[in-house]
Amino acid sequence: MVYSVEAKVFALCSLLLLAAFCSTSNSFVISLDALRLLVKSEMPHPLILIPGDGGSQAYAQFRDCQSDPFPIWVDLRYLVSPRTFGDYFKLIYNNKTRTTEDNDKAIITFPGWGETWSVDNLDSRPHSVTKYFEDVTAAFIQNPYYVKNFTIRGAPFDFRKAPNENVDFVPKMKALVEETFTNGQNQKVVLLAHSMGSLYGLHFLNNQTVAWKRKYIKAFIVASAPLGGSIKALKIEASGKFSFYLDGQLN
């Protein structure tokens, strides 16, 4: 049986929506058979992975002393001391600029733009508990067309902020799409987004012209996308409790 490219993309999209985030770990479960349908396509398209909330590695650097950046998310040692993690990782609100910024203890960065390593596994010492896009990447690179950091890319971002406040994301993403389009022999790019990454992808696409999207974008595939909002955010607002990440109530 011969499948069209559109059918393969649709099959992948459908299975992602049904199976995403079904495991108890932070990685989401995807049918590798569905991935192989797309990977074996006679007309492959380059791929950009847009992670969800907490879906990319983060590094911290102390402000009050000279230090090299060190991994903070995910570093499983901080799960033992969530308050310490919160002290370093939290944002503060600047009343003058009306924006959020890093606190006075640490500068937080999200490395690996355009690469897959920081979204494949969330720990700098990779292990199975913190796998994220790793199985997706592994499935695609079975096809020689897909090369890490060339025709299959990652788009990590500061997931502490809403898309409209992460002002650098849109121009960086536009440049990444155009570069990946060229790398992929001028084939349109597929954007595969999970959870909060779907909001970032939608925000990005809404800021592009119809002509640009027709030239560069093949498909926008979303998994577990909170496009209608998230009830969990309302629960946090109502209760003042962050539960897992920050032990205690909002100030």
pLDDT tens digits for 37-63?
Answer: 555 556 799 999 999 999 999 999 999
| Region of poorest pLDDT, from 28-42, 151-165, 185-199 | 28-42
Q: In the structure, what pLDDT confidence band is assigned to residue 3 with cuts at 50, 70 and 90? A: very low
| Region of poorest pLDDT, from 48-57, 71-80, 121-130, 229-238 | 229-238
Task: Name the residue with higher pLDDT: 11 or 128.
Answer: 128
pLDDT tens digits for 116-173?
Answer: 999 999 999 888 889 999 999 999 999 999 999 999 999 999 999 999 999 999 999 9
| Region of poorest pLDDT, from 3-7, 180-184, 232-236, 245-249 | 3-7
pLDDT at 78: 82
pLDDT at 242: 60
Q: Where are the domains of the chain?
A: 58-109
SS (H, E, C) the chain: CCCCHHHHHHHHHHHHHHHCCCCCCCCCCCCHHHHHHHHCCCCCCCEEEECCCCCCCEEEEECCCCCCCEEEECCHHHHCCHHHHHHHHCEEEECCCCEEEECCCEEEECCCCCCCHHHHECCCCCCHHHECCHHHHHHHCCCCCCCECCCEEECCCCCCCCCCCCCCHHHHHHHHHHHHHHHCCCCCEEEEEECHHHHHHHHHHHCCCHHHHHHHEEEEEEECCCCCCCHHHHHHHHHCECCCCCCCECC
Percent of the chain with pLDDT over 90: 63
